[in-house]
Amino acid sequence: MLDIRLIREEPERVRGAILNRHQEAPIESLINKDLEWRRVLQQVEELRKSRNAISKEINQMLKDGKDAAPKLKEAKEIPDKIKALEETLRVIEGERRGFELLIPNIPQSSVPIGKDETENRVVRTVGKLPEYPFGAKDHHQLGEDLGILDFERGAKLSGERFTIIRKEGAAIVRGLINFMLAIHIRNGYTEIWPPLFVRPEILQGTGQLPKFEEDLYRLERDGLYAIPTSEVVLANLHSGEVLEYKQLPMNYCAYTPCFRREAGSHGKDTRGIIRQHQFDKVELVKITLPEQSIAEHQALLGNAEEVLKRLELPYRVIELCTGDLGFGSEKTYDLEVWLPSQKKYREISSCSNCGDFQARRANIKFRDRDNSFKFVHTLNSSGVAVGRCLVAILENCQKADGSVAMPKALLPFLNGIEKIG
């Protein structure tokens, strides 16, 4: 959520940022509603001043022995007027907040301006692309041939975009999770084992609600939502709290299953496990001082990259343009891993700096050195998506005989599995 003072004082900057994002946002409705709120607030304040002035006047009249009955009648009417206006103010404030929650974050000045993913910028490319003179298979075919991916039974149990991962495949998934967590814990992250269902205000804090409700799974009876990412939990761990500046940065990591309806992705990646309703992910979140967030963003990106480097998977780093930024992000790097079957790089991690956008929504502050209270900055990154990492290993590490060799760095986490097939 943006600072309302920024919208009041620099409306053209906010309008320009939304225009550069190529997104729809009710900025004019918000500006008008804020003006209405301020007008009513001014009326309330004037009535309070009038009440105080009349009280003094009545006291003086009584001292002077004058008839104060007309003024007393006037004074009695003021509290009812104030009460009615305060109720109006409360309603308007709720309407204003509703508009505020739909305004996206403002991109950093360093973010390239562009309309969509075609105008993202390649920062660097890492690793040599594999060559397959024998004709490479995609992960769907490899998974079926090796007996580790069962799409038919997954669909039988739960419908499309659900998959059974079996035998060595299950062991690889478990090994990848432990491998990633080991790296991140060594790099100073505190592991969290969080709940998978949260209250709506928690999703509002990180920006999934109200804008992206159609992508969420909701438990109607309990009023809870299944998490679409553990960023939701980690970034809200300190919601409503005031931290001390010496505590920052705070670094958290978590493995969780994640749940998304993929409501806007019908027809995309229907083959295989790239886009599922239930998927596994290791997530990283940093809660930092504002002056540290740019440097911590680079550190966060390096932490996510380390996973791919150690697995020796070819990848590239992409800086997202304004038109491709996520709703709550002010700057994002994507890590894209090479998939031989598609002959292109595909996203495996998104590393974002949200500035104070989420902290304002979740009310997370810190006491600075001068005892002033300020909002923290929050950053998040996949560290990385487990299913897509499995896809990348199957496709990049396949052999001519149909087997798949495991990356050396992963072997200590696989209980003796060096290859499958």
Nearest to 85 by CA among 36, 151, 150, 146: 36
Per the domain annotation, does 262 fall within a domain?
yes
Shared-domain flag, residues 224 and 350: yes
Among residues 68, 100, 132, the one where a domain terminates is 100
Among residues 73, 100, 127, the one where a domain terminates is 100
Bridge-based pairing of strands 164-165 and 149-150 is: antiparallel
Shared-domain flag, residues 261 and 385: yes
* Residues in Cβ contact with 291 at an 8 Å cutoff, skipping those fewer than 6 apart: none
Place of tokens 């919208």: 7
> What local confidence, expressed as pLDDT, does residue 63 receive?
80
Shared-domain flag, residues 229 and 286: yes
Shared-domain flag, residues 212 and 306: yes
Shared-domain flag, residues 182 and 271: yes
Does the N-terminal peptide bond of residue 249 adopt cis geometry, omega within 30 degrees of 0?
yes
**Does 39 qualify as catalytic in the annotation?**
no
**Does 350 qualify as catalytic in the annotation?**
yes
Per the domain annotation, does 317 fall within a domain?
yes
Shared-domain flag, residues 203 and 347: yes
Bridge-based pairing of strands 250-259 and 224-226 is: unpaired
Number of separate domains in the chain: 2
Among residues 54, 71, 100, the one where a domain terminates is 100
Shared-domain flag, residues 128 and 64: no
Per the domain annotation, does 414 fall within a domain?
yes
**Does 347 qualify as catalytic in the annotation?**
yes
* Residues in Cβ contact with 333 at an 8 Å cutoff, skipping those fewer than 6 apart: 123, 297, 301, 317, 318, 319, 320, 350, 351, 352
Per the domain annotation, does 384 fall within a domain?
yes
pLDDT (tens digit per residue) in 40-78: 999 999 999 998 888 888 888 878 888 877 878 788 889
Average pLDDT (295-311) is: 98
Query: Which of 260, 346, 360, 361 is labelled catalytic?
Result: 260
> What local confidence, expressed as pLDDT, does residue 154 receive?
97
Per the domain annotation, does 398 fall within a domain?
yes
Phi and psi at residue 316, to the nearest 5°: -140, 160
> What local confidence, expressed as pLDDT, does residue 70 receive?
80
Provide the percentage of residues in the chain whose pLDDT is more than 90.
90
- Asked if residue 381 lies in contact with residue 298, where contact means CB atoms within 8 angstroms, the answer is no
Give the separation between CA 356 and CA 370, rounded to whole angstroms.
Answer: 19
What does the angle CA 8 – CA 244 – CA 383 come to, to the nearest 5 degrees? 85
Average pLDDT (244-261) is: 98
Strands, E, within 134-191: which ranges? 149-150, 164-165, 190-191
Shared-domain flag, residues 132 and 60: no
**Does 230 qualify as catalytic in the annotation?**
no
Residue 154 corresponds to which amino acid? G
Residue 226 corresponds to which amino acid? A
* Residues in Cβ contact with 343 at an 8 Å cutoff, skipping those fewer than 6 apart: none
> What local confidence, expressed as pLDDT, does residue 263 receive?
60
* Residues in Cβ contact with 417 at an 8 Å cutoff, skipping those fewer than 6 apart: 168, 171, 172, 175, 406, 411
Nearest to 279 by CA among 260, 305, 307: 260
Query: Which of 275, 310, 316, 367 is labelled catalytic?
Result: 275
Shared-domain flag, residues 228 and 361: yes
Average pLDDT (132-149) is: 95
Instruction: Specify the CATH number for the domain of residue 23.
Output: 1.10.287.40
Nearest to 134 by CA among 384, 399, 336: 399
Per the domain annotation, does 211 fall within a domain?
yes
Give the separation between CA 231 and CA 285, rounded to whole angstroms.
Answer: 7
Look up the pTM and report it. Answer: 0.93
The DSSP call for residue 139 is: H
Residue 266 has pLDDT above 80, yes or no: no
Instruction: Specify the CATH number for the domain of residue 185.
Output: 3.30.930.10
Distance of CA 247 to the CA centre of its chain: 22
Task: Assign 304 to helix, strand or coil.
Answer: helix
The DSSP call for residue 342 is: T
The DSSP call for residue 355 is: T
Query: Which of 93, 119, 347, 367 is labelled catalytic?
Result: 347
Shared-domain flag, residues 20 and 53: yes
pLDDT (tens digit per residue) in 228-250: 999 999 999 999 999 999 999 99
Does the N-terminal peptide bond of residue 407 adopt cis geometry, omega within 30 degrees of 0?
no
Per-residue tokens: 299: 């550190």
Nearest to 188 by CA among 285, 312, 255: 285
pLDDT (tens digit per residue) in 193-234: 999 999 999 999 999 999 999 999 999 999 999 999 999 999
**Residue 91: domain span:** 4-100
Query: Which of 329, 341, 349, 350 is labelled catalytic?
Result: 350
> What local confidence, expressed as pLDDT, does residue 87 receive?
97
Give 265's pLDDT tier (boundaries 50, 70, 90): low
Shared-domain flag, residues 84 and 126: no
Nearest to 353 by CA among 384, 369, 377: 377
Average pLDDT (382-411) is: 97
Provide the percentage of residues in the chain whose pLDDT is more than 70.
99
Hey, which residues does 350 pair with through a beta bridge? Answer: 334
pLDDT (tens digit per residue) in 174-192: 999 999 999 999 999 999 9
Per the domain annotation, does 87 fall within a domain?
yes
* Residues in Cβ contact with 191 at an 8 Å cutoff, skipping those fewer than 6 apart: 181, 184, 185, 252, 253, 254
Shared-domain flag, residues 91 and 137: no
**Does 9 qualify as catalytic in the annotation?**
no
Per the domain annotation, does 112 fall within a domain?
no
pLDDT (tens digit per residue) in 82-134: 999 999 999 999 999 999 999 999 999 999 999 999 999 999 999 999 999 88
